[in-house]
Amino acid sequence: MTTPTTSTTPTTPTTPQKTALVTGANKGIGKETARRLAALGITVLIGARDAERGRAAAEELRADGGDVRFVPLDVTDEISVRAAAERIEAAFGRLDILVNNAAIASGQQKPSETPAAALRQVYETNVFGVVAVTHAMLPLLRRSAAARIVNMSSELGSVSHLADPGSPWSSYSSALLPYCTSKSALNAITVLYANELRAEGILVNAVSPGYCATDLNRHSGPRTPAEGAAVAVDLATAGEDGPTGTLRSEDGPIPW
């Protein structure tokens, strides 16, 4: 369990400037999402469980001119999640954007050789962590005039793609039972949140950044993290006529 530590985020009154929280933002797609949001003039909170890496990422992005701050956050630890929500409330009074980016993957095994423990480990971050963070941040998001929630998913979570032998994604799925099914669950969670929050004007979407070179895949992807972050930022800053309850890539909607 993570013991709450003193945050370096200064306490300030609520301001009209938008505030965004990006989980798992000390590296990869999360950091590039934070970079792009900060470039738009949004105050960005980098949520990371590793304090040293989180602070280093925030310092790097501040050097680019953005208002970027580190918030200690382990999405698998509800004490840490609640403490992060309390810090954000004390400093800003609300939250405008939540990007649930933190995710992990497990070793590659055939589905028939994958133990249940491997799924539990991945689901703790990719599924239960998203629910814990969203639940804790919703009271703050409801104070925003135009709140947005973006869940970082994958085309590997598309059951339609996995069921199609002709799909290029189906070959990857044969060895990624925990990761693929966690993203399928995340897609369903996205739809259910979107249905509930639609009347409140809170838009909730899942995005697929594509196969990007990150630590998750040992940097084997052909796309850059910056390219993967683009669709997340687009939906995080969508207008009131933006979509909700969808799974999208930069090329448009992806079938469930």
Residues 27 and 11: their CA atoms lie apart, in Å, by 25
Residue type, 221: G
Q: Is 183 one of the catalytic residues?
A: yes
Active site residue 31: no
Read out DSSP for 125-145?
Answer: IIIIHHHHHHHHHHHHHTTSS
Instruction: Please give the Cα distance from 212 to 218 (Å, whole number).
Output: 10
Kindly name the residue from 18, 27, 31, 183 that is annotated as catalytic. Answer: 183
Q: Determine if residue 67 is left, alpha or beta; phi over 0 gives left, psi from -120 to 50 gives alpha, anything else beta.
A: beta
Q: Which of 31, 123, 172, 179 is catalytic?
A: 179
H-type alpha helices, 5-115: 28-39, 51-63, 78-92
Catalytic residue list: 179, 183
